[in-house]
Structure 1
Amino acid sequence: MKFTELNLPPEVLKGIETVGFTDLTQVQEESIPLALAGHDVTGQAQTGTGKTAAFLISLFTRMLRNPRETGSNPRALILAPTRELVAQICEDAKGLGAFVPFKVQPIFGGIDYQKQRDALRGGVDVIVATPGRLIDYAKQKVFSFGRIEFLVIDEADRMFDMGFIRDLRFILRRLPSFDQRQTMLFSATLSHRVRELAYEFMNVAERVEVEPEQMTAERVEQILFHVSRREKFPLLLGLLAKEEDANRVLVFVNTKREAEHLTERLRANDFRAAVISGDIPQLKRMRILNEFKNGLLRFLVATDVASRGIHVDDVTHVINYDLPQDPEDYVHRIGRTARAGAAGKAISLADEELVLHLGDIEEYLGRRIPSAVPGEDDFLWNYKRPHPRKKAPVPEKSVAPGERKRPPRRRRTRPKPSGGDAGSS
């Protein structure tokens, strides 16, 4: 089905044409008509399936068809679990909404507090936010939830995983009642707790499901290598040397420590690589992601927690340097490539320890991942090792010209009492 077959306003169609979309994905084909008809929608959809475009197109269309004068209080609220995902949704909204008269404002921590506050006070149509800072502004009465007409909750399962459920309920209880607003909820898995949330705060939602097998990008070429842990890095270098079209590579590991260590080893071998981890300041994380998107950075190493919200087109390769422990994370990882109809490749390295998770992953996928044993020429053993970090010497305290350096302070000692009784003459 093509977007031109939908009864969309010219401004929205022009935005869709600008970003290059022509055919609807499955989740778009099932959810957009329901949303345009005014129904609440719960959608099971992984990132990379087009769900962001689905709710943005529905949102802009409904707002155009039901105009309201812009005031200090927003009309629409989109909630997401991570700062990166908020930034990505705003980027998509900028393209799809290039010709609609709506102001979209991101709200999240780590960047200018006063600037976001002033933007809210000046009046916005759509807020895209993580819960924490949004609640902070609401408690200060910078804006009100009272006139929200449209609500979107993206990656609801991650909201639970990251401990946002209390914040989410705080917000939902302050919105107009479910029969006075339209709500769309999207989640990679419609678990019991996600369904319970939908039942409590949504108005008889229509359910849209994309099965896990369909959530794996169809055009991802998957291959798995059985290798010992000692051989993983030389195999990685050998494979990268052979993959001539590996122009934008996302490498996944299971821990922050491993991510930092692997990044150092790649840099030592002349690979321009950076790491995304939770303790990197937000502005630096955004700069790293922009460099990766713009092609200035070829390799990005990330953990699953830090990678939430990484939506970069034209990722040519995803490498599971560590097999994930959670099967859903495998689907999430390889969904970073082969986006928007492009081709992509997912390479996984199964060592003697993490291969134990392979069975669960293949059971979740419903099929086996094509595997191979690497040949001797696949390894690159002649690699450089990072220089050991040296502790910087503690600088001696400088002394101004003409100033005498004080001698070390001597400790005073009390003289020992002389012999004899204290009262003797």
Structure 2
Amino acid sequence: MVTHLSKTTFKNIGLHPKLLKALKVLGYQYATPIQAQALPLLLNAQDVAGQAQTGTGKTNAFLLAILDELLTLPEVEDRQPNEPRAIIIAPTRELVIQIFEDAKQLAKFTDLKMCVAFGGADYDKQREEIEAGCDVLIGTVGRLIDYFKQDIFNFYALDCVVLDEADRMFDLGFINDIRYLFRKMPKPTERLNMLFSATLSHRVKELAYEHMNHPQHIHVEAEQVTADRVTQVLYYPANHEKLPLLIGLIQKHQPQKAMIFTNTRRQAEQVWLSLRGNDIKAGLLTGDVPQRKRIRLLDELKTGKIQMLIATDVAARGLHIDGVTHVFNFDLPEDAEDYVHRIGRTARAGAEGDAISFAGEDNAFNLPAIESYIEHTIQTADVTPELLVDIKPPMKAEPKKFKQNNNRSQGRSKHHRSNQGGSNQGYSNQQNSNRSDLSQSTSSDGNE
């Protein structure tokens, strides 16, 4: 999936010169539709609730708005190092890491400091970095609440707030935690608020009206989020043909970087063992992989140390890996929207890509809903004998079983210091114990 660029150039939007310099270095000249619509409003201090899916450029939209705000708006005179001026809340640790990396690139010519807070990583290191000084804090809700309740940081100097993928917050059951954080922040009129969601459902709009200052709604139409640069092909293999066909297609296409999606962890492990047994460099990304290895796998794919990554839908959202040329759907997803998220891993930033899907015996019945959702029929191809290559047996060794990381599971008006409520009032201790690490829950696979 790729987003067409608008005719609006970044230099005509009114961004700070340091941000324009970073955009030039990154090769960005024209804004995407969501950026062209949102940035003029945000730079004019107007709250925005945007409906936008993956690949539309929404991350850079809210990052540019935040960074411009921090570069132009005077900060609180007595602001302490552990008082961030901007908070970005995301549903998963993978998305937090991606936002963090993008923020560093856009802020490379500024003195602004970014920090992260998410589970499954060094608890003390994150805490120390936030205490040492943080302008923009990016985190999952569970770890943010944990640090907040320990007074590791506070909201006294807060200028900007972003809630990314709000619909997923509802789906994952953490919306009460989001409301808890919002209620501890300065009043909506005293900060710049941004909310982004794949759908602006009634419950998402209700959240926006409750915790934002008369937000302007922006909707990127489906026609603007197209897959016309993704070549989509569908095969109908029997179950015993799927692995020979996958390896045959890999040999035929020779992808530089690829992602292979399965519906279950067990299936992902079987594919991984088969690829390794046939001398194909691949990594395995599922819900039980600890955070350090997760980050290393993504880095190995980005740098070319591995050729492809086999993943369950834990990796379908929030990942941005430049240069992914092919996506293989070893299984058709049960959720039609997941199909769009999966193929959106390729053909990013104006590039082209291939999405190859298998409608196998166990999930071909998912196809009608997918084609209805994307509003077109996927082109089919024949499973020919030359594609069904002879393959070596899979590796016999089972993938290492990773243990869960439980190292610690526990604005505009500058007169709002009294607005921050007591850090423990109105919040259920039981809720916090269940949600102290949001990312452990969000990284699990729904079909396992």
SS at match of 1:341: coil
In the alignment, which of 51, 71, 82 is matched to residue 58 of structure 2? Answer: 51
Instruction: Kindly indicate whether the alpha-carbon contact (under 8 Å) linking 1:213 and 1:366 is maintained by their aligned counterparts in 2.
Output: no
Instruction: Kindly indicate whether the alpha-carbon contact (under 8 Å) linking 2:260 and 2:309 is maintained by their aligned counterparts in 1.
Output: yes
Q: For the pair shown, which has the larger CA radius of gyration, 1 or 2?
A: 1
User: What is the RMSD computed on CA atoms of the aligned residues?
Assistant: 1.5
Q: Which of 1 and 2 has higher RCO (CA within 8 Å, sep 6+)?
A: 2
**Larger mean Cα displacement after TM superposition, 214-223 or 139-148:** 214-223
Distance in 2 (CA, whole Å) between partners of 1:389 and 1:121 is 44
Instruction: Kindly indicate whether the alpha-carbon contact (under 8 Å) linking 2:316 and 2:338 is maintained by their aligned counterparts in 1.
Output: no
Equivalent residues in 2 for 1:159-170, closer than 5 Å = 159-170=169-180
Q: What is the match of residue 330 of structure 1?
A: 339
Provide the TM-score with structure 2 as the length reference.
0.84
Offset, 1:389:
4.3
Distance in 2 (CA, whole Å) between partners of 1:152 and 1:3 is 21
Whether 1:221 aligns to 2:231 is yes
Whether 1:129 aligns to 2:139 is yes
Q: What is the match of residue 103 of structure 1?
A: 113
Whether 1:369 aligns to 2:378 is yes
**Residue segments in structure 2 that go unaligned for 5+ positions in a row:** 1-7, 399-448
Equivalent residues in 2 for 1:68-147, closer than 5 Å = 68=75, 71=80, 72-147=82-157
Distance in 2 (CA, whole Å) between partners of 1:273 and 1:99 is 36
Distance in 1 (CA, whole Å) between partners of 2:339 and 2:226 is 9
Equivalent residues in 2 for 1:346-425, closer than 5 Å = 346-380=355-389, 382-389=390-397
SS at match of 2:342: helix
In the alignment, which of 31, 38, 42 is matched to residue 31 of structure 1? Answer: 38
Deviations for 1:278-315, whole angstroms, at most 9, x for unmatched residues? 11111111111111111111110111124432210110
Distance in 2 (CA, whole Å) between partners of 1:313 and 1:181 is 33
**Larger mean Cα displacement after TM superposition, 181-190 or 370-379:** 370-379
Offset, 1:213:
4.4
Instruction: Kindly indicate whether the alpha-carbon contact (under 8 Å) linking 1:44 and 1:190 is maintained by their aligned counterparts in 2.
Output: yes
Q: What is the match of residue 299 of structure 1?
A: 308
**Residue segments in structure 1 that go unaligned for 5+ positions in a row:** 391-425
Offset, 1:193:
2.0
- Misfit runs of 4+, over 3 Å: 387-390
Q: What is the match of residue 285 of structure 2?
A: 276
Q: Which amino acid in the other structure matches residue 90 of structure 1? A: F
Q: Percent identity?
A: 50
Length, aligned pairs only: 388
Offset, 1:214:
3.1
Offset, 1:147:
2.6
Offset, 1:373:
2.1
Deviations for 1:207-240, whole angstroms, at most 9, x for unmatched residues? 1112334323431111111222221111111111
Distance in 1 (CA, whole Å) between partners of 2:295 and 2:226 is 27
Distance in 2 (CA, whole Å) between partners of 1:389 and 1:129 is 36
Deviations for 1:49-81, whole angstroms, at most 9, x for unmatched residues? 111111111111122121215523111000111
Distance in 1 (CA, whole Å) between partners of 2:44 and 2:337 is 32
In the alignment, which of 61, 67, 83 is matched to residue 60 of structure 1? Answer: 67
Equivalent residues in 2 for 1:233-244, closer than 5 Å = 233-244=243-254
Instruction: Kindly indicate whether the alpha-carbon contact (under 8 Å) linking 2:85 and 2:160 is maintained by their aligned counterparts in 1.
Output: yes
Equivalent residues in 2 for 1:148-227, closer than 5 Å = 148-227=158-237
SS at match of 2:349: helix
Offset, 1:40:
0.9
Distance in 2 (CA, whole Å) between partners of 1:114 and 1:386 is 41
Distance in 1 (CA, whole Å) between partners of 2:69 and 2:331 is 44
Distance in 2 (CA, whole Å) between partners of 1:294 and 1:216 is 28
Offset, 1:187:
1.2
Offset, 1:159:
1.6
Instruction: Kindly indicate whether the alpha-carbon contact (under 8 Å) linking 2:42 and 2:48 is maintained by their aligned counterparts in 1.
Output: yes
Instruction: Kindly indicate whether the alpha-carbon contact (under 8 Å) linking 2:239 and 2:360 is maintained by their aligned counterparts in 1.
Output: yes
Distance 1:192 1:305, change over 3 A: farther
Q: What is the match of residue 321 of structure 1?
A: 330
Whether 1:261 aligns to 2:270 is yes
Instruction: Kindly indicate whether the alpha-carbon contact (under 8 Å) linking 1:249 and 1:298 is maintained by their aligned counterparts in 2.
Output: yes
